[in-house]
Chain A
Amino acid sequence: MASPESAVNGPTMTAGAASKSLRNAFGGVIAFIILVLIGVLAFSIRLFSVIKYESVIHEFDPYFNYRVTQFLSKNGIYDFWNWFDDRTWYPLGRVIGGTVYPGLTLTAGTIWKVVNSLNIPLSVETVCVFTAPIFSAFASWAAYLLTKEVKGPGAGLTAAALLAMVPSYISRSVAGSYDNEAVAIFALVFTFYLYIKTLNTGSLFYATLNALAYFYMVCSWGGYTFIINLIPMHVLLCIVTGRYSSRLYIAYAPLVVLGTLLASLVPVVGFNAVLTSEHFASFLVFIIIHVVALAYYIKGILSPKMFKVAVTLVVSAGLAVCCAVIAILIAVVASSPTKGWSGRSLTLLDPTYASKYIPIIASVSEHQPPTWPSYFMDINVLAFLVPAGIIACFMPLTDSSSFVILYIVTSVYFSGVMVRLMLVLAPAACILSGIALSEAFNVLTRSIKFQLPGIAGNPSIASEENGSSTVVAPNDIPKTEEAAKEKPAKKNRKKEKENVEKKPTPSKTEKRLLVLPLEASVIAVLLLVLLGAFYVVHCVWAAAEAYSAPSIVLTSHSNDGGLHVFDDFREAYSWLSHNTDVDDKVASWWDYGYQTTAMANRTVLVDNNTWNNTHIATVGTAMSSPEKQAWEIFHSLDVKYVLVVFGGVVGYPSDDINKFLWMVRIGGGVFPHIKEPDYLRDGQYRIDAQATPTMLNCLMYKLSYFRFVETDGKGFDRVRRTEIGKKHFKLTHFEEVFTTHHWMVRIYKLKPQRNRIRGKTKKSKSSRSVSSKRDVRGKRNPWH
């Protein structure tokens, strides 16, 4: 496999060709082995939580998906499509079939069914827990395919290796994080790969596959609107920069038609696929590309002079029609208050929108803008390599590399708006870093190879370069078949890096390729390998320490180094499922809704879907009101048990008292008698002796701190780091039924209505005067 063997042309051409194909085959086998290893890496780096804790589903949202998958596996797909869930959002219920993105649950359900039909007895929970790592392996392979289309197989392998490990993606796809993004990122990258492939080959077959992959993406995640806006933007960019070609038409037009149809098939999207502003961009560009295609076609038929005449004629006539249509469209769109965009999209476009109008969206911690350190935490070294990758994409600029550049620019913008969208940035960053690293390694190893002693002088090397690289078409389409691979004389240190002869070379006649000095390239290669090593170390650390916490089980280290496990949540849910009636309703803040329905199997008032702001505001108002009013609110909703999370004993910071201000804000947004300043003393949120009386009397305070003083005698709250204000009080309308081992979850029961109400049995006149007095005294409280 040494290069002098292939440097001989002429009479040994057949031998050269044979050795070249052998080298090709060898390179293909190596690439395949590397890809398998990357898949194994992606799978195993996500298993830390399974090893450290157990195979359990994490967080909140995955519990809902798990419950839906359980239902699907038990009842089959027709019942799943038509499922009306009455155990949540009591008394409203929720149409699950029409409001859930079915991709994830259908995928896991299919895997479960297939595996069980092969007589491998995996439970639904196991399948759910391990779906995410499997699909992250698929996502790395899809990234390999995508980057191979853009730059070449070497860049592809690097990008795949980077994506397998990037912490931002690990955080949402760790084993147990059974959420939409687990399959959605795979669908995203795969759809982009098929789009680029269609763009490069112009084949309708790939266009069909592209539409089907887009359908899978629509099924999986609400973020599909990113695809349906990015691709039209790219088409527009290509048209504007003069890169229009018929392949562009074939790549785009069938996708729009087929994609819109397929998107309307998914019940969640339905007619939104044609009615909301999120899709208008695709239709607009659809019309534009038809106009451009027609213009090019006519230009091909007519002579230049006639073409000019035709253009002026058409433009003057068409402009009038266009203006009329656009005026109508603007009138229609402007008449709706949100200009046709949904609330979630508006928060992305205008980052201040949510805090002004929709406090629920603003309150979710994932929707906050990220801080600078979180960029470094999540994509680490890639943050430095991305600009290099952007430059590498510009030489030469092809359709596919312009797409990747557009992808990274838009995803950087969106990731700056919401932390959660760092996830969309991760594949783009990996692709561009893979391109950058691969190009760098290519230049450096080429420098080393051509300067090592024993190689002939430059001219023959250059001719060998030209002879062995494939013929490049004059325009900038990168070839999709593999070219000859040159193995460097140095052995590869890291198994993920592979060197491929870069093509297309900028010009075929370049005889002397630039080389760097030998020592500098050796040191540079070593430094780059070191950079990669740092990246790997960071990723493994992040996966093990930062992102593997299931958050339903907490741990801490005790003084003698042992591990102390806080399993309070599951303790509370199992108490609920064993000690209450099946039909009992449980009220809690919406964070715990999914877990309560999935694990405790009880009906809840509000859950994480947060689609009904008024209902959540009702619960928030109840939590912020004094005991009697809260009792009345809950009683009107048939609630029997109230669940609060309290971290004061152990120092758990995400408890309900810390979230309480959001309850006040959301409740106050709908019921104006709840005012946030009532709960703050001098603008500060306190629960100690300086707190306001409204705060000290509200239900949340009472339910959290009831009997708290009995734990340590002083009532010292470990999270807020003060002693509480009101220490000794009794509950009049609620009774405590369960508190978990570490006091983290506390469950209260509503006391039944008293049979005899003192004072009410007097004549109706006095009761009327009593009630009228109450009306005048209180502020306009709708619950009286």
Chain B
Amino acid sequence: ISFIPYLFKRFQNFLPFPGRIERFTFYLLDYNLCFDKQVVYMAVVGSFPFNSFLSGVLSCIGTAVLAVCLRIQVNKDNKEFKDVAPERAFADFILCNLVLHLVIMNFLG
């Protein structure tokens, strides 16, 4: 039970990441919120334009996943990605996002 305050304390120490990485957490939380809103809307209104619903939620999930991938690659503690420059990781991220949003735009209807 003392685990919860302990976790909070660890998190306090943990949060001052190198600046860019800390923003990821909030970026992800934001997308999570967006996703939940869409699901609630669909549950309320009904899923008639199913492709729009699908593209909306999948875009949320997709960008969240890609952000996680970028964070994995940019994190300096991660020894498997030592030889990948963060600029290259970011460029890949941009490319992947571009393709994702192109597809979503097409699927939105």
Contacts and interface: CB of A to CB of B under 8 A. Distances in A.
Interface in B35-74: 50-51, 54-55, 58, 61-62, 65-66, 68-70, 72-73
A59 to B, nearest CB: 35
13 contacts: A203-B84, A203-B88, A205-B92, A208-B99, A246-B72, A246-B81, A257-B61, A261-B100, A261-B107, A265-B107, A271-B54, A274-B54, A310-B7
Contact of B54 (A211, A262, A264): A264
B80 interface: yes
A249 interface: yes
Given A202-B73, A247-B80, A265-B107, A257 B65 contact: yes
Given A245-B80, A249-B69, A261-B103, A208 B54 contact: no
A409 interface: no
B78 interface: yes
Interface in B1-34: 3, 6-7, 10, 14
Interface stretch (A301-309, A329-337, A706-714): A301-309
Interface in A269-294: 271, 274, 293
B96 A204 contact: yes
Contact of A250 (B14, B73, B103, B107): B73
B3 A261 contact: no
Contacts of B65: 253-254, 257
A238 B76 CA distance: 25
Which of B89, B92, B93 gathers the greatest number of chain A CB atoms within 10 Å? B92
Nearest to B81: A202
A466 B2 CA distance: 54
A254 B69 contact: yes
Contacts of B78: 246
Contacts of A271: 50-51, 54
Interface of B: 3, 6-7, 10, 14, 50-51, 54-55, 58, 61-62, 65-66, 68-70, 72-73, 78, 80-81, 84, 88-89, 91-93, 95-96, 99-100, 103-104, 106-107
B93 to A, nearest CB: 6
Nearest to A255: B65
Contact of A264 (B6, B51, B72, B81): B51
B68 A249 contact: yes
Contacts of B81: 202, 246
A204 B54 contact: no
Contacts of B92: 203-205, 207-208
Q: Which 3 A-B residue pairings sit nearest by Cβ, starting from the closest? A: A204-B92, A257-B62, A253-B65
A572 B72 CA distance: 65
B22 to A, nearest CB: 14
B94 to A, nearest CB: 9
B68 A261 contact: no
Given A204-B89, A211-B99, A261-B103, 14 more contacts: A202-B84, A204-B66, A207-B69, A254-B66, A257-B58, A258-B99, A258-B100, A261-B54, A261-B58, A261-B104, A265-B103, A302-B10, A306-B3, A310-B3
Contacts of A563: none
A254 B6 CA distance: 34
Contacts of A601: none
Interface string A391-421: 0000000000000000000000000000000
Interface string A109-141: 000000000000000000000000000000000
Contacts of A264: 51, 54, 107
Contacts of B103: 258, 261-262, 265
Contacts of B3: 306, 309-310, 313
Contacts of B58: 257, 260-261
A258 B55 CA distance: 10
Contacts of A202: 73, 80-81, 84
Given A202-B84, A301-B14, A257 B100 contact: yes
Contacts of A253: 65, 68-69
